[in-house]
Structure 1
Amino acid sequence: MKTKSLYKREDFLPASRQDIEARGWDEPDIIIVTGDAYVDHPAFGAAVIGRWLESFGFKVAVLSQPGWKSAEDFKAIGSPRLFWAVTSGSIDSRLNSYTSFGHKRKNDVYSPAGKIGRRPEKPVLTYCARAREACKDAAIVIGGLEASLRRLTHYDYVEDKIKKSILTDSKADILVHGMGELAVCEIAEKLSAGCTIDQLAGIPGTAYNLRKNSPAPEKFFELPSCRQILSDNKLFMQAHLEYQKRCFPEGEAVVQDQGAGRIAVMPPSRPLSEAEMDRLYSLPFTRETHPDCRKEGEVPALESVKFSITTHRGCFGGCSFCSIYFHQGKEISSRSEGNIIKELEKLSKRKDFKGTIQDIGGPTANMYAMKCRKQKICSRQSCIYPNICKHLDCSCEKLISLMKSVLRWKKAGRGRNAFVASGVRYDLAVKSDEYMRILCKEFVGGHLKVAPEHFSNNTLKYMGKPRFGLFEKFENKFNEESRKAGKEQYLVPYFISSHPGCTNEDAEKLTEHLVSKNIMPRQVQDFTPSPLSLSTAMFVSGIDKNCNKIFTAKGSSAKKLQFALLRYYEPKHFGIISKHLSRKRKFRLLEQIRKKADYQKKRKR
């Protein structure tokens, strides 16, 4: 439903030539080109980078979802004085456009009214070509999640191919990886001071082409080349593990030959300080879609986050299938409690605020203000698996203080509800009875997302997740605290099918558990090999991190079987399940599934 905007177009960053001229600019310093519709909200990367650069005095414009079959839209907005900043958008374009089975998605939640066809197949590559066509002299900087995770030789699950670094393929001048505020600001300042592209070499949080005038870093580690990996896919795992050892701010640069030249990847930028986080989230975001985009309808992705609060970034969970370690980093950067409450106060004064804060959290909601006591990031992938590191301060004290402040805000009549909708790490949550009590009594809106991911401890080992018994402990505690609060509340468990290392027997164990507990999970994600995750290295190489050979469900039929076993209650899956379980002579389980499927069939009638 279309709502009336509270803001005028001049409250947004300029998004057209007319907007630029209305500000009295001859040209912007930086033009951000994004594959998403322009949404001026702190949950959208293009807006965050744009507002951050603006706060340092740079003139920033946004070119969202431009036409790509010619360079006309690029020419129409004009040339940037310093550089084009190109991003595919808030998520990897492959994941945005394709399911794990390779099917085209029917909508695009980052486009007006969810319409598809508003971006090219490979936005970063295509936009870079059009930007170069429109203005040969301006530098091109690529960044955002897709560029960040494709900084090295990587696997593309849609093409089922190992690909060169996106820096090489896009022919961009420099790549910003990770959370890019510090790196992109340093690039802007150096170019503004008259530095050449070659003089940008060595900025933390960047990757660059090695040329005569931009030599390799003083100290670096040489990864297996793209050509070597193509000839021996086990080297994909070696390259991943060697990079993981070095991918932290105090780590070492790496160099990798792409076949069309070598690239250097610098260690990540340091995490933002609390003061910098407060500054970033205090910038004048309108929290709305730009008027030009709204003409076609609202952007669906905004709906669930419009009145959400980001408390922190980063995650030290280190799940094998997740790339947050390589993008946001594992060190937690948190905002101050006072700054978060100020944002709540500001939101409560908006005319379109209906009293509900949709989410208060981050990548993992209950990691707010947790930190390493040594105050030095190491190469360990997870701080909590297979055991909690002795140096980790995982106290909930500051989080509980924040939650109590939010409750005082509510009781003062400024809001009706404030929920935790982002995921909770249950192995940390069970360590604090007070956190569980406040969470269940005050911050759960009927359902709480939690991700056990699997039942088989064999599969959980490959996922880097705790044993299932710990989830059951959390579940019992959640139910107990919900009863004490007089609330009927439910956990929404998330599961992954076809994860590398998960055999069909492991999948059957999970099905048996779900059937015995009468659990019919709706949140089942078939494994998607996202770039730069350990699980993708397993998928490509066929080995685990200890170089042991593992089973991996590959191909449509193998993946569909494991997915069907998790969605066992759906009648459409009964055929494939029946064939498999009959061959295994598991007739008792098959009969239980048949009853569930028949019941669902009757309900649909």
Structure 2
Amino acid sequence: MFIPTTPKEVNKRGWKALDVIIVSGDTYIDSSYNGAAVIGHWLIDNGFRVGIVCQPDIDSDKDITRLGEPGLFWSVTAGAVDSMVANYTPTNKFRKDDDFTPGGINDRRPDRACIAYTNLIKKYIKGKPVVLGGIEASLRRIAHYDAWSDSVRRSILFDSKADVITYGMAELSNLELAQRMRDGKDISDVRGICRIGKEPPSGGYIGMPAYEKCAEDKNDFIKAFKIFYENNDPVSSKGIFQKHGDRYLIQNPPSRHLTSEELDRIYSLDYENAVHPYYLKKGAVRAMDTIKNSITSHRGCYGECSFCAISVHQGRTVISRSEGSIISEAERIASRPGFNGIIYDVGGPTANMYGIECSIKPIKGACKDKKCLYPKPCPYLPIDHSKQIALLKKMSEIPGVKKVMVASGIRYDMVIFDRKKGAEYVDRIVGNHVSGQLKVAPEHTVPHVLELMCKPGPDVLIKFKEMFDESNKKQGKDQFLTYYLMAAHPGCYEEDMEELNNFVHRELKTNPEQVQIFTPTPSTVSTLMYHTRRDLDNTKNLKSEHSMQTKQKQKDILLGSKGKGYEKRR
């Protein structure tokens, strides 16, 4: 059942008022792939009355006042993507298209949407707290580098004048906030939130260099970021605080991990898996083409690629749904009128992490002195694709299902290091779950660039390609790999792009097509490198392309439109 978007729908539920009103920068897709919908259904399932307003007009009160004032709080999110990433290309050109807006025209999402929507609320309906959530708020919760202004900005909590941030995946923190507010209890120690205080907190919180110091001194910025980065695990992390002027940004320790049973419950909630008719009448929503008939099997990623925010936002621990829960969702999809027989994806941030996790991490927390997959998989990580093989086989046997796709990408290094089941997994994927091509993301092939990215070496990629090609040959298939590659990552020179270009043609025997320019998004290790021109340990200087022209030039080298001359590594 849809979350109410109009007073008529509120009345239809039998509600006289709402406890929480969600405001989102995306249109309203009622799906488990939409974070606003997930939080809304989760709160409703736990006894709260929730409404939703999407992409409100920020120049009038006509949308933001439609549902009145919530009894407890406003919940504001920019949407599935940081609004600046959604609105601008890596070369800072305005994006004309938006997959999350009806009609596909990018004319509904304001820049810095969390700030814009909070200001809108406070202008027309003052009184109730504003709680920020979603990836924009989560990754801008401390002093952070913002590429679009080329500056270190304050925590978004100060810039927006909101009251609380719920960071990470936030089901537990939103629920506890709602329960405590309903019961008139103090919310200051709720895990998984950030708040503003007049004094630094007691009880073992770690102080970070102040915002002003981070803005002035890149060494202080690195110190602050490292404290932030090392305190994202719910088992081992402490609370942190950072002075902004005469007040303090206080981040409580992260919410605990959800259990598999809780994750099953979240994904079995009453989603319509459709765009709400109120918004659909304004035009088709392209994002539905991606998420329709797709299933999330797990959350979290222990890959820790330097340029990716998933490990900070979703966490380094993989929590998998039960096989039964996923099968039940697949059966529901297959039973819908008009189902075409294809489940377009089953996966998560990385599809083949399903059912694979270290037994130590959930008890002692993520290691601070080593990574799970880099430079090679940790011996305590039991890489075994058996559970995903079994899951894919059972999904394929569901009546009405013709094909189950794995479209969310895989970690090919995990396949290579799975000595027992890696080859069987590739055979399974090639034979049943690929339609012409399989996406992999080496990003680069030059060792010193890969080291900064925390990505596996080119030898691993070659081994996987050989395994994939052999499986195709054995099964009489003519399928190929699609390679996602990156230009202008910190530490990458134009001669490195030349070397990558030669490798792609010589070893991969293909012409590069999927090439993106590095985008410095808030709160990633690569963004720290981009801003400071230093590595995370502050031990080495790095090349960092800030000119749009030189960034584009690196991409052009890979695409075969190289300009004259290039700067060599020094």
TM-score by length of 1: 0.90
Q: Does 1:542 align with 2:533?
A: yes
Aligned with 1:305 (options 282, 291, 308):
291
Q: Distance in 1 between matches of 2:22 and 2:5?
A: 9
CA displacement 1:116-136 (0-9 Å, x = unmatched)? 211222211111112122332
Aligned with 1:294 (options 280, 291, 294):
280
Do the aligned partners of 1:355 and 1:414 also contact (CA within 8 Å) in 2? yes
Structure 2 counterparts to residues 39-188 of structure 1, below 5 A: 39-188=29-178
Do the aligned partners of 1:254 and 1:266 also contact (CA within 8 Å) in 2? yes
Deviates more, 1:371-380 or 1:360-369: 371-380
Which residue number corresponds to residue 445 of structure 1? 435
Which residue number corresponds to residue 402 of structure 1? 391
Which one-letter code corresponds to 1:220 in the other structure?
Answer: Y
Q: Distance in 2 between matches of 1:94 and 1:388?
A: 34
Q: Assess, with a 3 A threshold, how the Cα gap between structure 1 residues 523 and 545 changes in structure 2: closer, same or farther.
A: same
Q: Does 1:521 align with 2:512?
A: yes
CA displacement 1:496-528 (0-9 Å, x = unmatched)? 100001122211111222343542222111000
Which residue number corresponds to residue 365 of structure 1? 351
Which residue number corresponds to residue 14 of structure 2? 24
Which one-letter code corresponds to 1:202 in the other structure?
Answer: D
Backbone CA RMSD of aligned residues:
1.5
Which one-letter code corresponds to 1:81 in the other structure?
Answer: G
Sequence identity, in percent?
A: 38
Do the aligned partners of 2:317 and 2:366 also contact (CA within 8 Å) in 1? no
Do the aligned partners of 2:296 and 2:346 also contact (CA within 8 Å) in 1? yes
Q: Does 1:339 align with 2:328?
A: no
Which one-letter code corresponds to 1:580 in the other structure?
Answer: G
CA displacement 1:82-128 (0-9 Å, x = unmatched)? 00000011111011000111110011111001122112222111111
Which residue number corresponds to residue 374 of structure 2? 385
Which residue number corresponds to residue 24 of structure 2? 34
Q: Assess, with a 3 A threshold, how the Cα gap between structure 1 residues 299 and 521 changes in structure 2: closer, same or farther.
A: same
CA displacement 1:474-509 (0-9 Å, x = unmatched)? 011011111112111111100010000112221111
Aligned residue for 1:398, secondary structure, equals helix
- Richer in helix (by share): 1
- Matched residue pairs, number? 558
Which residue number corresponds to residue 319 of structure 1? 305
Aligned residue for 2:66, secondary structure, equals helix
Aligned residue for 1:400, secondary structure, equals helix
Which residue number corresponds to residue 469 of structure 2? 479
Deviates more, 1:115-124 or 1:283-292: 115-124
TM-score by length of 2: 0.95
Which residue number corresponds to residue 192 of structure 2? 205
Do the aligned partners of 1:237 and 1:538 also contact (CA within 8 Å) in 2? no
Aligned residue for 1:227, secondary structure, equals helix
Which residue number corresponds to residue 557 of structure 1? 549
Aligned with 2:335 (options 349, 359, 372):
349
Which residue number corresponds to residue 241 of structure 1? 226
Q: Distance in 1 between matches of 2:177 and 2:284?
A: 33
Do the aligned partners of 2:553 and 2:563 also contact (CA within 8 Å) in 1? no
Aligned residue for 1:162, secondary structure, equals strand
Runs of at least 5 residues in structure 2 that lack an aligned partner in the other structure: none
CA displacement 1:198-233 (0-9 Å, x = unmatched)? x21121111111136xx6141111111111111112
Q: Does 1:421 align with 2:407?
A: yes
Do the aligned partners of 1:245 and 1:379 also contact (CA within 8 Å) in 2? no
Q: Distance in 2 between matches of 1:203 and 1:63?
A: 26
Which one-letter code corresponds to 1:440 in the other structure?
Answer: V
Q: Does 1:222 align with 2:213?
A: no
Q: Distance in 1 between matches of 2:66 and 2:328?
A: 40
Do the aligned partners of 1:204 and 1:268 also contact (CA within 8 Å) in 2? yes
Q: Assess, with a 3 A threshold, how the Cα gap between structure 1 residues 108 and 332 changes in structure 2: closer, same or farther.
A: same
Q: Does 1:579 align with 2:542?
A: no
Aligned residue for 1:200, secondary structure, equals coil
Do the aligned partners of 1:234 and 1:542 also contact (CA within 8 Å) in 2? no
Aligned residue for 2:223, secondary structure, equals helix
Aligned residue for 1:219, secondary structure, equals coil
Which one-letter code corresponds to 2:197 in the other structure?
Answer: L
Runs of at least 5 residues in structure 1 that lack an aligned partner in the other structure: 1-10, 569-573, 585-605
